[in-house]
């Protein structure tokens, strides 16, 4: 028996020696272990959308794009869901969904001299740092992917802002390289699900848009430079043709718009009283916005209604002609509807806009107004309005009527006629309309910069009863993702009050003087 065991061991060793590659379970030539950039880029584009839209449900309540159908909802009251990953998708997007996948694209692109992929990957990471820190505040930067570590220290938001600037500079440099193996055809292989379709010049403009946000968000600080914001905007989008959109096929719920009916994520949300007031003439001197019926929906009796802050749908009674429709443009499921499901950006196949030309023009208008150049501010203001009118146009049913109503509205008292008459509220309210739905996170940046000021956001009313843990304070940030930080990294949160019940009301660095 002993001899048999020795013989078997000898045969095994001989087999291992002669078939070493065959038995290496970590290598499979038929299934490469490291994907190339063109394989990874499509899911990363979808991850950008996922991080934004999942959490926009809640931030949309903070900024009153919409409200929950029932009254007293915690998010409507500037609260949060304790012990939950709700509103933690941006955190997951940054560290997990994008995370090391960005590094793989950068390394693969560097090795193969595909500098366009390197530039796009760094652009996406810069965008993710910017949007995620504006959402959460302090983040894990220096120790982000340090191996063999179970506790991670947080870094200041100021450091994250500097990292955004660094990455943007590197992205622009990579996208501008003409050597190596960059080409539109090559980049298109991975970039088919964005509106850029492999055009690295448009990606470069997107990077300048990120820099514009980075420079503009610190508008309350002495170091704020309107000229720098204007410079970045001018180097960014030239029209709606440059908008950064991610596409949806909508062949099933798996590739459909998060906001659409197939995904059924928005059934319990209703348009707000605030957005209605900005478009039905309540705020703008009885001048009805031509975009009203395209973006929003009237009740069965023809009146446009919305939910107030944390008040819910007060008309939510079966058969009541005053009921508030869903964001899709239909009545809640309990009432038969004879209208097409899905409207505006809430259609199943609607693109999701990551950044738009109109946003950037309103940014420029605000910067120019702060600088004192009212002529420039007014020009950018009008371009922002018209760009969003054009953005809405493909969704309009009666385009002839829309054109006539558009001309009438622009000539009305809703729109100041000269730069001398232009006010900050004019800019910010029109920007709010243009960002409705797809730009909740950026709108929240604006509202926090302006301290939820009703003189800037005319007609905006805070909930009469804020979330109990707020101690009367407005929401300023979202807590880091529960299942990563509050389960595994609580000691690090203690260093800056992250475990305190009112942590979500702590003002962020970028809004401070």
pLDDT in tens, 354-364: 999 999 999 99
When the pLDDT of each residue in the chain is averaged and rounded to a whole number, the result is 92
Q: pLDDT tens digits for 377-424?
A: 999 999 999 999 999 999 999 999 999 999 999 999 999 999 999 999
Residue 21: pLDDT over 90: no
Residue 17 is predicted with a pLDDT of 39
Residue 14: pLDDT over 80: no
Residue 230 CA to residue 241 CA, distance in Å, equals 20
Q: pLDDT tens digits for 197-207?
A: 999 999 999 99
Six token digits for residue 126: 């810069």
pTM across the whole model: 0.92
Where in the chain are the domains? 37-253+472-506
User: Residue 240 in contact with residue 386, Cβ under 8 Å?
Assistant: no
Which of 117-121, 153-157, 211-215, 317-321 is predicted with the least confidence, judged by mean pLDDT?
317-321
- What separation in angstroms does the CA of 288 have from each of 10, 133, 285, 413? 88, 37, 9, 11
The CATH number, out of the four listed (3.30.70.260, 3.40.50.10090, 3.40.50.1970, 1.25.40.390), of the domain defined by the range 37-253+472-506? 1.25.40.390
User: Kind and range of the H or E element at 354?
Assistant: strand 352-355
Q: What angle do CA 125, 127, 133 make, to 5 degrees?
A: 95
User: Residue 300 in contact with residue 331, Cβ under 8 Å?
Assistant: yes
The SS3 call for residue 170 is helix
């Amino acid at each position: 028996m002993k001899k048999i065991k020795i013989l078997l061991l000898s045969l095994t060793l001989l087999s291992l020696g002669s078939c070493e590659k065959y038995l290496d379970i970590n290598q499979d030539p038929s299934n490469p272990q490291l994907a190339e950039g063109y394989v990874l880029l499509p899911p990363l584009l979808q991850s950008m959308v996922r991080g934004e839209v999942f959490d926009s449900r809640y931030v949309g309540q903070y900024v009153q794009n919409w409200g929950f159908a029932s009254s007293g909802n915690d998010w409507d009251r500037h609260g949060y869901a304790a012990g939950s990953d709700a509103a933690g998708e941006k955190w997951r997007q940054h560290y997990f969904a994008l995370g090391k996948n960005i590094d793989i694209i950068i390394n693969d692109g560097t090795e193969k001299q595909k500098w366009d992929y390197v530039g796009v990957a760094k652009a996406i990471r810069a965008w993710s740092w910017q949007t995620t820190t504006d959402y959460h505040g302090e983040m894990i930067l220096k120790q982000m992917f340090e191996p063999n570590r179970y506790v991670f220290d947080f870094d200041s938001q100021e450091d994250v802002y500097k990292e955004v600037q660094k990455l943007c500079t590197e992205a622009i440099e990579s996208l501008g390289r003409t050597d190596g193996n960059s080409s539109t055809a090559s980049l298109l292989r991975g970039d088919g699900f964005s509106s850029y379709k492999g055009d690295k010049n448009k990606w470069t403009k997107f990077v300048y848009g990120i820099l514009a946000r980075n420079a503009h968000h610190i508008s309350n600080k002495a170091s704020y430079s309107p000229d720098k914001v204007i410079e970045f905007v001018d180097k960014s989008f030239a029209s709606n043709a440059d908008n950064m959109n991610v596409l949806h096929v909508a062949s099933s719920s798996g590739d459909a718009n998060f906001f659409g009916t197939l995904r059924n994520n928005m059934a319990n949300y209703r348009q707000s009283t605030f957005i209605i007031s900005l478009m039905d003439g309540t705020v703008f001197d009885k001048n009805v916005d031509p975009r009203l019926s395209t973006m929003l929906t009237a009740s069965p009796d023809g009146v446009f209604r919305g939910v107030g802050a944390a008040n819910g749908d007060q008309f939510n009674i079966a058969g009541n002609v005053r009921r508030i429709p869903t964001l899709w443009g239909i009545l809640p499921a309990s009432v038969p509807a004879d209208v097409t499901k899905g409207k505006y950006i809430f259609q199943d196949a609607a693109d999701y806009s990551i950044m738009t030309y109109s946003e950037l023009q309103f940014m420029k208008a605000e910067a120019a107004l702060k600088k004192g150049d009212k002529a420039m501010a007014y020009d950018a203001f009008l371009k922002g309005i018209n760009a969003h009118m054009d953005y809405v146009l493909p969704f309009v049913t009666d385009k002839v009527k829309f054109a006539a109503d558009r001309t009438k509205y622009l000539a009305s008292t809703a729109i100041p006629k000269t730069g001398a008459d232009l006010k900050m509220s004019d800019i910010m309210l029109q920007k709010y309309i243009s960002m409705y739905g797809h730009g909740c996170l950026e709108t929240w940046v604006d509202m926090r910069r302006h301290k939820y000021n009703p003189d800037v956001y005319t007609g905006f009313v805070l909930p009469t009863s804020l979330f109990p843990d707020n101690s009367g304070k407005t929401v300023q940030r979202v807590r880091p993702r529960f299942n990563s930080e509050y389960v595994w990294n609580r000691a690090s949160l203690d260093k800056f009050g992250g475990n305190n019940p009112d942590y979500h009301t702590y003002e962020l660095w970028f809004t401070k003087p």
